[in-house]
Chain A
């Protein structure tokens, strides 16, 4: 028996605010989080800008407890979990009583912690490598720290799927509730902005460089701008949520995870992978394409991935793409990697609630043939269902359908 899965809370720490409404306000204003990189030397990487969570003050969320054992990824995630639990009317006692779980999407967890641990050993000597850093060097470290902080004793899974990690974690969390393996869990993702990730993206040629033009779908786009953040949704079985008097912010109706076996080398194969995901997710939700009222897209300015996403959407919504409103939050947030999927979802639910979808800041001329209803200006929307898509740069694809 499949159970219904409702969203009863949302928590986020993003480069554009820490409340769903403030995020969407910033997006509606077209405010951008992209700024010159400070705090570390990027000389030689050819990259000048990023979209970190500037001015993140852990104390605001976590009080005066000892934060030393937590690296930046864990701090972002623990803070987002606190906000999500608060929003759902939960605390450490009720989370523990419900054996709440966690599904956390992340590409690297903290590649910075991992790298620093090793560097200390190879420069100062093995005996100087930090034991605390080692505990945080596992890719499930942020999930483990979050479980300890918030008393999450249920299933605890870290999910990696490159840029699709966060949406995959939502999809995974949906299944865990739906199949009855968990009554309540937090699902989403987190990623920190650091030198090592920046160096990786830069050397892979995935960043908008040397002139930054990371406007989704724009014909002039030349890559992504790396961002940061953490976002989690509280998922619950619908009846259990109702029984405890929780307010449902929305419902997850379907999901699909797929893969492009060419790993991005064949554009048609990349588009097909996401197209299949969209069709399967809609099928599971029992919705025709015509019932989708909003698309919260993955688009981040990457030349090939944006094109594959546009092609997948066009294939599914054949003939009516021009009437499907598209929002692309990474135009303003940068690519928040593991946090992306949950941030796209939160922004979409908030847009449905407010009846207005943010525009894609800076969008000039869309690439020929995309045919999407994407524009720089905000637009009024109506309806209840949103499609969230996520596409990676090396094969991963995922789609989730939510309703308000």
Chain B
């Protein structure tokens, strides 16, 4: 074995499409998934928009578990897992179940369950809280539900590293395959829309009233969203032997911690730059080899300013030559799912040679003077895509996906 790991299946559940073909088409068309919140009454909040997956019918995707026996993040993850497995053309019956693993990233697990718990507690009706709270709330149940639904007995791990969690899951799956701990890994992230998340970002004053405008001079903040993505990862030899479609190769990753502040990024982009550098070094690549950066790009005034600083630290004079776009301009911030969805986006970018846009861009910001692919998708040869994600707790992660060539 060469230790090379490739992406052979993609499953996405997003506010602009379930299943990657619809999602990708809408992404390239610059369609926004942002709208007025429907899952709870947002009138008490200063802003009222979110990136919800509206009209999601879990029953259409779940084959064994009852949809009402699991939380919404688990429903998303299970749907994304089936979509990915089907997309990869994996014959589940031919696989050793205990050699197929699951790695899931999430920010909040199943927050709707603790919200229900609180509603009962506050109403003095704790008798309404039953076995479902512990059975469905803790975040490890998402990976558990995926494994139960697909009957998988391999490595099963949940990495709740907040808004970089999806990248952590992909990174861990990469390592697990290279270490021979599994034959196939399903890796990704999932998060459900939550009043807790919305309250928190509202209190931070970070929520934009209408739309997300990454890199724009007048950007007003992020907008919470929801969704999931799962990727099928397997060793290159295995994928080639079965004649699988290979979207991309996972080249490397880098993870660091700022150890600076719980919610604010390092002012000089220290950890973010280290993560990018680490990933480039492992892949034996230089900044000049990078064809596209999927930005963390939340749309808050500080995020893109600091992200620009970090990119410039690594890319130097070449900073303006590399396109960097934020799909959060369309999806909002899907939390732990975000970098998993963006890993799928990067895989498609290298497979299709297309770069999704940053929508809602009107006025350039001299402090974010990178090429953010404003408003319109672009055709370009994408050899190496860099997926950057940052998180509460000072976590920084970079995953490099590159065009596959045997």
Q: List 12 interface pairs A-B (beta carbons < 8 Å), by A numbering.
A: A115-B114, A115-B121, A126-B45, A131-B200, A138-B393, A148-B261, A158-B160, A159-B157, A196-B117, A204-B131, A258-B98, A258-B154
Q: Given A139-B109, A179-B178, A395-B148, does the pair A153, B196 have CB atoms closer than 8 Å? A: no
B16 within 8 Å of A (CB atoms): no
Note all chain A residues with C-beta closer than 8 A to B106: 139
Q: Which of B21-29, B82-90, B135-143, B380-388 contacts A (4 or more CB under 8 A)?
A: B135-143
Note all chain B residues with C-beta closer than 8 A to A257: 155-157, 181
Q: Which of A23-31, A161-169, A349-357 contacts B (4 or more CB under 8 A)?
A: A161-169
Nearest to A111 among chain B residues (CB) is B114
Note all chain A residues with C-beta closer than 8 A to B59: none
Nearest to A130 among chain B residues (CB) is B203
> Is there an interface contact between B131 and A203, defined as CB atoms closer than 8 Å?
yes
In the assembled complex, the Cα of A259 lies from the Cα of B186 at a distance in Å of: 14
In the assembled complex, the Cα of A388 lies from the Cα of B170 at a distance in Å of: 27
B159 within 8 Å of A (CB atoms): yes
Query: Which of A203, A262, A269 interacts with B130 by CB under 8 Å?
Result: A203
A40 to chain B, nearest CB (A): 12
Q: Given A140-B395, A257-B156, does the pair A155, B257 have CB atoms closer than 8 Å? A: yes
Within 8 A of B (CB), among A116-161: 117-119, 121-123, 125-127, 129-131, 134-141, 143-145, 147-148, 150-161
> Is there an interface contact between A140 and B161, defined as CB atoms closer than 8 Å?
yes
- Chain B contacts to A: CB under 8 angstroms: 44-45, 97-98, 101-102, 106-109, 111, 114-115, 117-119, 121-122, 126-127, 129-131, 133-135, 137-141, 144, 147-148, 150-162, 168, 172, 175, 178-179, 181, 195-196, 199-200, 202-204, 255-263, 271, 274, 391-395
A369 within 8 Å of B (CB atoms): no
B255 to chain A, nearest CB (A): 4
Note all chain A residues with C-beta closer than 8 A to B119: 122
Query: Which of A119, A140, A204 interacts with B393 by CB under 8 Å?
Result: A140
Query: Which of B114, B274, B391 interacts with A114 by CB under 8 Å?
Result: B114
A172 within 8 Å of B (CB atoms): yes
Note all chain B residues with C-beta closer than 8 A to A165: 140
Interface size on A, residues (CB 8 A): 82
A252 within 8 Å of B (CB atoms): no
Note all chain A residues with C-beta closer than 8 A to B274: 153
Nearest to A205 among chain B residues (CB) is B131
* A-B contacts besides A148-B259, A258-B154, 9 pairs, CB < 8 Å: A117-B200, A135-B262, A141-B262, A151-B259, A153-B256, A157-B255, A160-B159, A179-B175, A392-B140
Nearest to B199 among chain A residues (CB) is A121
A173 to chain B, nearest CB (A): 12
Summarize A's interface: helix, strand, loop or mixed.
mixed
> Is there an interface contact between A131 and B204, defined as CB atoms closer than 8 Å?
yes
> Is there an interface contact between A134 and B114, defined as CB atoms closer than 8 Å?
no
Note all chain B residues with C-beta closer than 8 A to A69: 262
In the assembled complex, the Cα of A269 lies from the Cα of B147 at a distance in Å of: 13
Note all chain B residues with C-beta closer than 8 A to A172: 157, 172
> Is there an interface contact between B148 and A156, defined as CB atoms closer than 8 Å?
no
Number of A-B contacts (CB under 8 A): 235
In the assembled complex, the Cα of A138 lies from the Cα of B122 at a distance in Å of: 22
Note all chain A residues with C-beta closer than 8 A to B159: 157-160
Note all chain B residues with C-beta closer than 8 A to A45: 126
> Is there an interface contact between A168 and B157, defined as CB atoms closer than 8 Å?
yes
A107 within 8 Å of B (CB atoms): yes
In the assembled complex, the Cα of A139 lies from the Cα of B141 at a distance in Å of: 14
> Is there an interface contact between A134 and B261, defined as CB atoms closer than 8 Å?
no
B254 to chain A, nearest CB (A): 9
Nearest to B266 among chain A residues (CB) is A153
> Is there an interface contact between B200 and A137, defined as CB atoms closer than 8 Å?
yes
> Is there an interface contact between B131 and A118, defined as CB atoms closer than 8 Å?
no
Note all chain A residues with C-beta closer than 8 A to B109: 139, 160
Note all chain B residues with C-beta closer than 8 A to A156: 161, 255-257, 393-395
> Is there an interface contact between A206 and B107, defined as CB atoms closer than 8 Å?
no
A304 to chain B, nearest CB (A): 14
